[in-house]
């Protein structure tokens, strides 16, 4: 049996490690042991739940999370909010998801991997090019894992997230997304929540958008995602910028009128990027280390865990490690997922989803007695809900339906550009 070392113990690395261990392959997991107070990735989608069940931790996650019934999109120019509940995915996926305190969630995943027999090494792994298009552990990192017996592992998996260890070592270029956003976020207590408990709220801001994610211990995670220039105009520090963005918004300001910020403010930038090469001789990139598209619809943890799950299946099919053909197929599928999320997210950024909703409402008013428009609207709504939940995101029919509807069914309402998120 081949030896596998996974570098990074976040959702991608810990899921792969646990799944391999469940199947009798015992990888070495390098986890740097960092436990920051705050981490983004707090809102999960229903498609994560089957993976949690496979790992045997769904109940433990339920015990540490806030149940998330759905997501609402609030647009100041829209006549009404767009409320999605996960009831719409009944029969396709579990009708629930979670909002999780990320550091605790990561800790649980890593604990589960160790329970299943994974050897976790508390060490910040380092790699260097091996001169043949691959990477190897530096002597210091190799020595940190006595189980490897001084021998380089047969397979190295980069699950280091945005550190992108292998891409940096091998100078692999990345495709960048179109937005130059920066995100600021913190937790608040004593807030007002205008939707159902646990419901995530996404609001279009003057220049960007915001998230509100209810968490356990009466915490609300508030994040603002802003164009870099717009962010600079709001102040000098992340605290200034987050507070200015919140207080300038007519929806966010009342939510925190009586609230207290209970954590530091954390910033993220440059996160829309995907590697141009995902694997090479003896190495594979996983999760954010390979690519991440955008946080708006919370695809990150699902993609990290789903890609780990699928990679574990490849190792089970080919215990010597997946061959190039299998890996090409795997990355083709992964790229299709990332493209599908990008298309879906663009529906929101471009404003087309809000125009579609307005056009639908208008048609319903005009054709009150005709059941067909209502049926069509329900059909569209359920496809969008199933796509955002991670069930039908890559389905051809759903993608074509949304493309068609957002191109041909929008009339009699202001153009989508006026509803776009800047």
Residue 378 gets the label, from left (phi > 0), alpha (psi -120 to 50) or beta, of alpha
- Contact between 12 and ligand FAD by CB under 6 A: the answer reads yes
**415: burial class by Cβ within 10 Å (0-12, 13-18, 19+)?**
exposed
Per-position x/- string for 148-187, each x denoting binding to ligand FAD as judged by CB under 6 A, each - no binding: -----------xxxxx-x-----------------x----
Only segment of 5-13, 59-67, 229-237, 366-374 that touches ligand FAD (CB under 6 A): 5-13
Q: Which of 230, 304, 363, 389 binds ligand FAD (CB under 6 A)?
A: 304
Only segment of 42-50, 142-150, 172-180, 274-282 that touches ligand FAD (CB under 6 A): 42-50
H helices within 191-323, ranges in order? Answer: 228-232, 238-248, 252-255, 300-317
Contacts of 10 by beta carbon, 8 Å cutoff, 6+ apart? 106, 109, 159, 161, 287, 288, 304
Residue 144 CA to residue 74 CA, distance in Å, equals: 50
Only segment of 32-40, 81-89, 276-284, 310-318 that touches ligand FAD (CB under 6 A): 32-40
**H or E element at residue 87:** none
Contacts of 156 by beta carbon, 8 Å cutoff, 6+ apart? 5, 7, 127, 134, 135, 136, 137, 166, 282, 283, 284
Nearer to ligand FAD, 124 or 355 (CB): 124
Residue 41 CA to residue 287 CA, distance in Å, equals: 13
Min dist. Cβ of residue 342 to ligand FAD (A)? 14
Report 271-290 residues binding ligand FAD (CB under 6 A): 271, 287-289
CB 64 within 8 A of CB 100: yes
- Contact between 31 and ligand FAD by CB under 6 A: the answer reads yes
Min dist. Cβ of residue 281 to ligand FAD (A)? 20
Min dist. Cβ of residue 274 to ligand FAD (A)? 12
Q: Which of 3, 11, 214, 231 binds ligand FAD (CB under 6 A)?
A: 11
Q: Which of 43, 274, 357, 398 binds ligand FAD (CB under 6 A)?
A: 43
Q: What is the CA radius of gyration of the chain?
A: 22
Q: Which of 125, 167, 226, 293 binds ligand FAD (CB under 6 A)?
A: 125
Q: Which of 96, 191, 292, 392 binds ligand FAD (CB under 6 A)?
A: 292
Q: Which of 1, 2, 24, 34 binds ligand FAD (CB under 6 A)?
A: 34
- Contact between 7 and ligand FAD by CB under 6 A: the answer reads yes
Min dist. Cβ of residue 182 to ligand FAD (A)? 9
Phi–psi pair at 167, nearest 5 degrees = -60, -40
- Contact between 30 and ligand FAD by CB under 6 A: the answer reads yes
Contacts of 20 by beta carbon, 8 Å cutoff, 6+ apart? 4, 26, 27, 118, 312, 315
- Contact between 46 and ligand FAD by CB under 6 A: the answer reads no
Residue 155 CA to residue 2 CA, distance in Å, equals: 8
CB 31 within 8 A of CB 103: no
Residue 246 CA to residue 243 CA, distance in Å, equals: 5
Report 323-382 residues binding ligand FAD (CB under 6 A): none
Report 206-265 residues binding ligand FAD (CB under 6 A): none
Q: Which residues bind ligand FAD (CB under 6 A)?
A: 7-13, 30-32, 34, 40-44, 124-125, 159-163, 165, 183, 268, 271, 287-289, 292, 295, 298, 300-302, 304
């Amino acid at each position: 049996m081949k030896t596998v070392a996974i570098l990074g113990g976040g959702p991608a690395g810990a899921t792969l490690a646990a799944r391999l261990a469940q199947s009798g392959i015992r990888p070495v997991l390098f986890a740097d042991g960092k436990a920051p107070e705050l981490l983004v990735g707090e809102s999960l989608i229903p498609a994560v739940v089957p993976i949690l069940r496979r790992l045997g931790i769904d109940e433990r996650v339920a015990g540490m999370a806030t149940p998330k019934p759905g997501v609402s999109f609030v647009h100041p120019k829209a006549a009404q909010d767009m409320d999605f509940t996960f009831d719409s995915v009944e029969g396709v996926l579990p009708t629930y998801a979670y909002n999780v305190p990320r550091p605790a969630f990561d800790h649980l995943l890593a604990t589960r991997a160790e329970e299943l027999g994974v050897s976790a090494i508390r060490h910040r792994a380092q790699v260097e090019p091996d001169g043949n298009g691959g990477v190897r552990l530096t002597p210091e990192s190799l020595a940190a894992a006595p189980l490897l017996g001084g021998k380089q592992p047969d397979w190295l998996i980069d699950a280091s997230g945005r550190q992108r260890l292998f891409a940096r070592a091998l100078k692999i270029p990345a495709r960048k997304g179109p937005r130059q956003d920066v995100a600021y976020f913190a937790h608040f207590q004593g807030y007002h929540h205008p939707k159902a408990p646990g419901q995530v709220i996404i609001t279009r801001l003057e220049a960007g958008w915001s998230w509100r994610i209810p968490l356990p211990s009466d915490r609300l995670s508030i994040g603002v995602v802003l164009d870099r220039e717009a962010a600079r105009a709001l102040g000098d520090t992340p605290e200034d910028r987050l507070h200015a963005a919140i207080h300038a918004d007519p929806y966010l300001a009342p939510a925190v009128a009586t609230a207290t910020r209970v954590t530091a403010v954390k910033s993220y930038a440059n996160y829309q990027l995907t590697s141009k090469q995902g694997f090479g001789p003896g190495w594979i990139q996983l999760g954010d280390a390979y690519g991440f598209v955008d946080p708006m619809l919370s695809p990150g943890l699902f993609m990290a865990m789903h890609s780990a799950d699928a990679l574990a299946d490849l190792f089970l099919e080919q215990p010597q490690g997946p061959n190039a053909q299998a890996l090409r197929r795997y990355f083709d599928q992964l790229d299709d997922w990332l493209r599908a999320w990008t298309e879906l997210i663009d529906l929101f950024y471009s404003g087309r989803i809000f125009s579609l909703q307005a056009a639908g409402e208008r048609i319903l008013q005009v054709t009150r007695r005709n059941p067909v428009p209502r049926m069509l609207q329900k059909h569209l709504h359920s496809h969008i809900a199933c796509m955002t939940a991670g069930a039908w995101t890559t389905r051809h029919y759903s993608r074509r339906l949304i493309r068609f509807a957002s191109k041909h069914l929008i009339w009699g309402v202001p153009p989508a550009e006026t509803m776009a998120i800047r």
